[in-house]
Chains A and B, each alone.
Chain A
Amino acid sequence: METTALVWILLFPLTGAAVLALGRNHLSPRLIGALGSLAVGASFAVALSALGAYRQAGAPLVQALFTWAKGSGFQVDFGLLGDPISLWWLLVVTGVGFLIHVYASEYMAEDPDVGRFFAKLNYFVFAMSLLVLADNFVGLLIGWANVGLASYLLIGFWNYKPEAAAAAKKAFLLNVIGEVGIILALVLMFMEFRSLAFADVFAGAAQADAGIVTAVGLLLLVGATAKSAQLPLFTWLPDAMQGPTPVSALMHAATMVTAGVYLMARAFPIYQASSAALAAVAWVGGLTALVGAVVATRQVDIKRVLAYSTMSQLGYMMLGAGVGAYTASLFHFFTHAFFKALLFLGAGMVAHYLHGEQDIRRMGGLGKRLPFAYWTFLIGVLAIAGAPPFAGFFSKDEILGAVLAQGHVALWLIGVLVAGLTAYYMVRLFALVFAGEPAEEHGEGHESGLAMKLPVAILALLSTVSGLIAIPGVTAVPAQFLEPAFLAYGYHVPHGGIGWPVAVVLAAAAAGALLAVRAFGPRGAGRQELLATAGSPLRGALANAFYIDDVYQKGIGGLVVGTSYVVGNGLEPHVIDGLVNGVAGGVRRIAQGLGRLHGGYVRRYTLVLFAGVAVFMIYFLLI
């Protein structure tokens, strides 16, 4: 159905970003927070009304904007598409985005650069909405690159901190690797389909050359691994926690990092046409879930625990997409957005109270002082650990059920193990932060105000009940809502059953939780051991994420530096410089030769003028 409303979802945050960027030094912090939140709130309202329009029409909403470029044999139209997949993402991006904007209006109020912060945050909402609204791969790529820029700007928001600047750079560089993958995929796609519109590409995917489709699928996966922090391009995400906590909650937990999952779901006809690419998605997802969860068990920074947990949960989503269970994967994205945003905002409240302390070895006993944070964080922990009836229980089990139903026993076992590990590291985190006695005296911090508490309360509520929209055998809202988008290209999304596998997952989670309580409860042995190391960084492979980052830094960095040395001292001055200088010298000599004719004498000019005329007159006389 044609509509004109979708573009407003983009225009509100874009206008907000422009107004805040221009007025950042003139508006009061309160007004800045209100304007920023209002812009995203308006976007959310439009997204809701678009949802209504979609349900009424029963057909995807489309809005043609303009023809981007037109040449012989190709045309790139630019339009917006409001189908179930994009509406699903939009509601979360703008809805959770709105809550986090409200939270940030208090959290960041003291920062002298609050205007710049909200301008960037609004810009991110614009870029992310563009990513999910575009009806073609060019628009998607533009949104993709823009969220990358927004991420760079916000991770490095405190640009006076060298770590923040370095983290921002790392995130940007790794994401550029992903973007190169996507651009290459687009080139191949255009060669094969002569179009970059979703409709043309997907309609032709089944008949296309198998090799090219597999290559396209793998190249898109490279993009997804970079954006969604999957193996092997995940190392930027833990560092990205240098950004302000609302940024971590919105971009590096709830929305931006799920863009890779969005790409997998959006381009599903490509993956359904190539079993090899699909299997690659599943294994990347499964292994990332495992690595993220294992590493999270040995982290001591509250935000890094959550970052590795995000990586692990994104692995679940990729795993779901990799076995073709898109509705389960997207449902987990939905619930994860709530409980992970909740956990990050809870961590933000703790850090706010402790004046920026993030080392969990220095916390403890905060349950009594911060009862609100205690209870809401507990809900988040229960949700992510998969305790019924909280949200994570239903969405995680849908994915694992589908994995087993598709016959991937090995991946299912990995999934079960990850469920146990998730419960373990989350309960460990909770126990260290809130239970027991305070590890250090921090003095009286101030508790959060209403603007921070209200969004957290709403997210806690959603983390509790949002799973209930998909109780197996009772309700199936995500499946019913999302199915048409996949049926449009003739794909039936598989679902898992219920029964003993659920019991196995629950048992694994319970075991993990019990182990954590035993070790890190108020008098647990592991707790004492860990607290003894306070003040120094943890050693070991787990605490350092298997040294993968060091391998990148030292190995690849060393390779680059070494090559640079050879090129810089051997190749460059002698070979390349010689070539360049030769060319430049040639240019210069030709130009000087020409310059000699330009003596500045009119008689010489006239001579050349008439000589030219004469030469060509002779030619005309001859032909």
Chain B
Amino acid sequence: MSNLATVDLNFMAVAPLITLAVAALLVLILDLVLPADRSRPWLYAAGVGGVLVALLYTYQLWWGPAAGPAASVVGAGALGRLSTGIAVFGGHYVLDRFTLIFHALVLIAVLCALLMSAPRRDEEKSGYLALLLGAALGMGVLAGAGSFFTLFLGLEILSLNLYVAVAFERGKVTAQEAGFKYLILGAAATATMVYGFALLYGQTGTMALSGLAAGWHSGSTVLMKVGLGLVLFGLFFKLALAPFHFWAPDVYQGASAPVTAFMSVGTKAASFAALVRILLAALPEEPSRFLLPLWILAVLSMVVGSFSAAVQNNVKRLLAYSGVAHVGYLMMSLLGLSDRGVTAGLFYLGAYLFMNIGAFAVVAGLGRSGRDGEELADFTGLFYRRPGLALAMTLFLLSLAGMPPAAGFQGKLYLVLAALASGAGAAAWWLVGALVVTTGVSAYAYLRVAAEMFRKAEPAAASGTEGYREAAAAAHGPESAAAGAGAPFSWALAAVLAVAALGTLYLGVFPQSALALTRYVLPLP
């Protein structure tokens, strides 16, 4: 760390993040200035425009400073392996292609979320948009964190924004409840993490990630182990790795589909980036015993996620559990911490981005009057009402289940190949075995929804006195058919669906092109 006076305040390096902050402010200001009945399009234009400009900056930085020589990289050691870029703000922020690829993922996710929310008629649009942009900003900071300060900063920016965004729908009790739960559990996780920072600082005397590895060489390493463990658990919570996943189903169900789509992908991506950076920087020389808990949690996540998904009747809850399982798969990429593994992880995140956002976009597209089309009953006979939507959903479900030719299949294939080549021995075989078994189980979960869409809806029973469930089904059975057929068609939502479907197919059929992109990030062996 250096004094503030000598810190290199390279604002260009964080241009995408600044753009997001400006866009969020602009949205709030426009809301003040413009008359309420005509402000909607302008607010969205400001939000979407801000994200596009941020993407442009990301692209520019990718070929600019991020591609520069590795001379000015933070410290030496393990972190140097990632970075061809530069460290700025006194090493608190790292601008390299690893950071930027996560920026791209997060920005695409938030762009899709903005477009998905365009047709929704909520009040106080400006606050909602600013919250999404703010959360994206936090994720961007987290992905580029070079020290615990920025790590904490990023994590809190994204969490605080999301707590509110989750609970944003006023008058919807589940949303309020979800936001509250998320806040309490998130606070507990953050506390754990900050405690870990403190212990690590006690051991190493530095807040920079690059100084962490030195902690293994100074006397007792108890503080190091426990501190690192606590920090990792904070991230595991954000990743919704079992058994720290309990918040996910409630929150995913309570929040509106665009928010869920965004947070499921964005939070996972940014936390994965931080996890990789910490592990690369701080792992002991003999990491196998230290990482054992991670493999146990990964297998647990796969099992819990896929089995629980199989019995859900709410598609958003199903996707939440599916996310738990997918994070378990994603953790496989960290076996041996090889370039190849992390590349496979990046690819998997890319695949997850498209297929997951696509699935949530369908849920949003089926929604009406402030409610998402999230119940399994909403999908009954969808193919006969809206074949395009049903076919797109089928593609996303097949991809989530890991079937060719969709992206999810290639993603799993690369994870398995990387795991087997990682030289991690028994751990790799356990994880691959768990992946194969749970993929089978989750196929049941996903294909249940798919089958529902191709089942012809039976005429709803008129009398509904045999219990709550039947009554509810009868109550919105005919309505759902009518509303589904006549739901307003939104170009913004259609665009999201098209991008997600094309992305899912493209990554599945031409995986090599995306892998070539990740090769800029990590030198492949």
Q: Tell me the A residues contacting B by CB distance below 8 Å.
A: 66-72, 584, 587-588, 590-592, 594-595, 597-598, 600, 602, 605-606, 608-613, 616-617, 619-621, 623
Q: What's the minimum C-beta distance from B438 to chain A, rounded to whole angstroms?
A: 11
Q: Which of B184, B421, B510 contacts A66 (CB 8 A)?
A: B510
Within the complex, which residue of B237, B289, B417 is in contact with A623, where a contact is CB–CB below 8 Å? Answer: B289
Contact A605 B512 (CB under 8 A): no
Known interface pairs A609-B237, A616-B229; A621-B222 also in contact (CB < 8 Å): yes
Known: A605-B185, A610-B188, A623-B290. A616 touches B311 (CB 8 A): no
Query: Can you show 20 pairs from A to B with CB atoms below 8 A apart?
Result: A70-B515, A584-B444, A587-B310, A587-B311, A592-B311, A594-B307, A594-B308, A597-B246, A600-B250, A602-B180, A602-B181, A605-B247, A608-B243, A609-B244, A611-B243, A612-B244, A613-B192, A617-B230, A620-B293, A623-B225
Nearest-neighbor residue (CB-CB) of B247 within chain A: A605
Residues of A within 8 A of B237 (CB): 609
Query: Among A67, A71, A616, A619, which residue has the most Cβ atoms of chain B within 10 A?
Result: A616
Contact of B149 with A by CB under 8 A: no
Shortest Cβ distance from A404 into chain B, in angstroms?
49
A610 to B222, CA, bound (A): 19
Nearest A-chain residue to B242, judged by Cβ: A612
Select from chain B the residue with minimum beta-carbon distance to A605. Answer: B246
Query: Measured between C-beta atoms, what is the minimum distance from A467 to chain B in Å?
Result: 45
Contact between B225 and A620, CB atoms less than 8 A apart: yes
The residue in chain A whose Cβ has the minimal distance to the Cβ of B293 is A616
Cα(A588)–Cα(B226), bound, Å: 37
Q: How many residues of B contact A (CB 8 A)?
A: 39
Determine which of A69, A591, A598 lies in contact with B246 in the assembled complex, contact meaning CB atoms within 8 Å: A598
With A and B bound together, what is the CA distance between A621 and B199 in angstroms?
Answer: 14
The answer to whether A617 and B246 touch across the interface, beta carbons within 8 angstroms, is no
B358 touches A (CB below 8 Å)? no
Q: Is B441 an interface residue (CB 8 A)?
A: yes
Query: Once the chains bind, are B311 and A598 in contact (CB under 8 Å)?
Result: no
Instruction: Report A-chain residues with C-beta under 8 Å of the C-beta of B441.
Output: 587
0 or 1 for each of B435-474: is its CB under 8 Å from A? (1 = yes)? 0000001001000000000000000000000000000000
Q: How far is the CA of A69 from the CA of B512 in the complex (A)?
A: 6
A590 vs B309: C-alpha distance in the bound complex, in angstroms? 12
Which 8 pairs across A and B sit closest by C-beta, in order of nearness?
Answer: A605-B246, A620-B225, A591-B311, A620-B229, A612-B243, A616-B293, A67-B512, A591-B307
Q: Residues of A contacting B225 with CB < 8 Å?
A: 620-621, 623
Complex contact A606–B188 (CB within 8 A): yes
A122 to B181 CA separation, bound complex (whole angstroms): 58
Q: A358 vs B85: C-alpha distance in the bound complex, in angstroms? A: 76
Within 8 A of A (CB), among B499-525: 510-513, 515
A69 touches B229 (CB 8 A): no
- Give complex CA distance A602, B182 in Å: 9
B336 on the A face (CB < 8 A): no
Contacts of B249 in A (CB 8 A): 598
Q: Which residue of the partner chain, among B185, B189, B307, contacts A587 with CB atoms under 8 Å? A: B307
Chain B residues near A608 (CB, 8 Å)?
243, 246
List residues of chain A with CB within 8 A of the CB of B417: 71-72
Q: How far is the CA of A605 from the CA of B184 in the complex (A)?
A: 10
A68 to B509, CA, bound (A): 8
B185: nearest residue on chain A (CB-CB)?
Answer: A605
Which residues of the other chain, B, contact A67 by a CB distance below 8 angstroms? 512
A588 to B310, CA, bound (A): 8
Q: Are A594 and B304 in contact (CB under 8 A)?
A: yes
Is the pair A606, B185 in contact by a Cβ cutoff of 8 Å?
yes
Interface residue B233 (Cβ < 8 Å from any Cβ of A)? yes
Is the CB–CB distance between B222 and A68 below 8 Å? no
Task: Decide: B188 and A609 in contact? CB cutoff 8 A.
Answer: yes
Annotate B303-339 by CB proximity to A: 1 below 8 A, 0 otherwise: 0100110110000000000000000000000000000
Using a Cβ cutoff of 8 Å, how many contacts connect chains A and B?
A: 83
Kindly list chain A residues whose C-beta atoms are within 8 Å of the C-beta of B444: 584, 587
Verify A69–B511 contact, CB threshold 8 A.
yes
B290, A591: Cβ atoms closer than 8 Å: no
The residue in A66, A591, A594, A597 that gathers the most chain B C-beta atoms within 10 A of its C-beta is: A591
- By a CB distance below 8 angstroms, the chain B residues around A587 are 307, 310-311, 441, 444
Whether the Cβ atoms of A591 and B308 lie closer than 8 Å is: yes
A620 to chain B: which residues have CB within 8 Å? 225-226, 229, 290, 293
Interface string of B482-506 (1 = CB under 8 A from A): 0000000000000000000000000
Inter-chain CA distance A72–B414, complex, in Å, is: 10
Out of A68, A584, A609, A623, name the residue touching B512 (CB < 8 Å). A68
What is the CA–CA distance of A10 and B477 in the complex, to the nearest angstrom?
48
| Residues on the B chain within 8 Å of A621, using CB | 222, 225-226
Residues of A within 8 A of B515 (CB): 70
Contact of B184 among A70, A71, A606 (CB under 8 A): A606
Q: Which residues of the partner chain A approach B189 to less than 8 Å between Cβ atoms?
A: 609
Give the shortest distance, in Å, between A488 (CB) and chain B (any CB).
Answer: 29
Q: How far is the CA of A296 from the CA of B87 in the complex (A)?
A: 82
Find the residue from A584, A620, A621 having the highest chain B CB count within 10 A: A620
Contacts of A68 in B (CB 8 A): 512
In the complex, which residues of chain B have a beta carbon less than 8 angstroms from the beta carbon of A605? 181, 185, 246-247
Can you add 18 more A-B contacts, CB < 8 Å, to A605-B246, A609-B246, A621-B222? A66-B510, A587-B310, A591-B311, A592-B311, A594-B308, A602-B180, A606-B185, A608-B246, A609-B185, A609-B188, A609-B189, A611-B243, A612-B243, A613-B233, A616-B229, A616-B233, A621-B226, A623-B290
Nearest residue (CB) in B for A608 is: B243
Kindly identify which residue among B181, B310, B512 contacts A591, using a CB–CB cutoff of 8 Å: B310
Task: Verify B293–A619 contact, CB threshold 8 A.
Answer: yes
Question: Which A residues lie within 8 Å of B308 (CB)?
Answer: 591, 594-595
Q: Once bound together, how far apart are the Cα atoms of A608 and B248, in whole Å?
A: 14
Give CA–CA (A241, B226) in the complex, Å.
77
Q: A71-B417, A587-B441, A609-B185 are in contact. Are A617 and B307 (CB under 8 A)?
A: no
CA distance A620 to B185 in the complex (A): 23
Q: From residue A49, how far is it (CB to closest CB) to chain B in Å?
A: 28
CA distance A595 to B180 in the complex (A): 20
Shortest beta-carbon distance, A127 to chain B, in Å?
17
Is the pair B229, A617 in contact by a Cβ cutoff of 8 Å?
Answer: yes
Q: Which residues of B contact A606 (CB under 8 A)?
A: 184-185, 188
Distance of A64 from chain B, by nearest CB (Å):
13
Closest to B183 in A: A602
* Cα distance A613–B181 in the bound complex, in angstroms: 19
Q: When chains A and B are docked, how far (Å) is the Cα of A587 from the Cα of B417? A: 28
Min CB–CB distance A599 → chain B (angstroms): 10
* Cα A476 to Cα B233 with chains together (Å): 78
**Chain B 127-167 interface 0/1 with A at a Cβ cutoff of 8 Å (1 = within):** 00000000000000000000000000000000000000000
Docked complex Cα distance between A113 and B413 (Å): 43
For A616, list chain B residues within 8 Å (CB): 229, 233, 293
Find chain B residues with CB under 8 A from A623 CB: 225, 289-290
Q: Report the minimum CB–CB distance from B463 to chain A (whole Å).
A: 29
Chain A residues, Cβ within 8 Å of B184: 602, 606
Closest CB in chain A relative to B500 CB, distance in Å: 22
Once bound together, how far apart are the Cα atoms of A70 and B290, in whole Å?
Answer: 32
Residues on B with beta carbons closer than 8 Å to the beta carbon of A612 = 233, 243-244
Specify which chain B residues have a CB less than 8 angstroms from the CB of A613 in the assembled complex.
192, 230, 233
Query: Chain A residues with Cβ under 8 A from B188's Cβ?
Result: 606, 609-610
In angstroms, Cα B461 to Cα A24, docked, is 41
Which single residue of chain B is at the shortest CB-CB distance from A594? B308
Docked complex: B200-242 residues within 8 A CB-CB of A: 222, 225-226, 229-230, 233, 237
Shortest distance between the CB of A555 and any CB in chain B (Å)? 34
- Cα distance A72–B413 in the bound complex, in angstroms: 11
Residues in A neighbouring B304, C-beta threshold 8 A: 594
Smallest CB separation, A595 vs chain B (Å): 7
Instruction: Enumerate chain A residues within 8 angstroms of B246, measured Cβ to Cβ.
Output: 597-598, 605, 608-609
* Bound form: Cα–Cα A201–B417 in Å: 25
> How would residues 291 to 302 of chain B score, 1 for a CB under 8 Å from any chain A CB and 0 otherwise?
011000000000
CA distance A590 to B510 in the complex (A): 38
Closest residue of B by beta carbon distance from A604? B246
